[in-house]
Structure 1
Amino acid sequence: MKIKKTASYTHIISTENSVVEFVTNFNEKYSQLSEQHLIIDFSEKINIEIKDLLLFLKTSLKHQTNGFSFVIISNGIDIDDIPDEINVVPTFIEALDILEMDAIERDLGF
Structure 2
Amino acid sequence: MKITTTEKYTLLKPTNNSLGEFQVNLEKELSKFEGAHLILDFSEKINTKIEELLLFLSLSSQHKENGTSFVIISKGINIDEIPDELNVVPTITEAIDIIEMDAIERDLGF
- The bucket for the TM-score relative to the shorter chain is over 0.9
Percent identity between the aligned chains?
61
**What's the offset of the Cα at 1:54?**
0.5
**Deviations along 1:32-67, whole A, 9 cap, x unmatched?**
113100000000000211000100111100100110
- Aligned twin of 1:70: 70
- Aligned twin of 2:102: 102
Unaligned stretches of 5+ residues in structure 1: none
Aligned residue for 2:64, secondary structure, equals helix
**Deviations along 1:62-81, whole A, 9 cap, x unmatched?**
10011000000000000000
TM-score normalized by structure 2? 0.96
Q: CA RMSD in A?
A: 0.8
- Equivalent pairs counted in the alignment come to 110
Return 24-33 or 50-59, whichever deviates more.
Answer: 24-33
Aligned residue for 1:60, secondary structure, equals helix
**What's the offset of the Cα at 1:14?**
1.5
Unaligned stretches of 5+ residues in structure 2: none
TM-score normalized by structure 1? 0.96
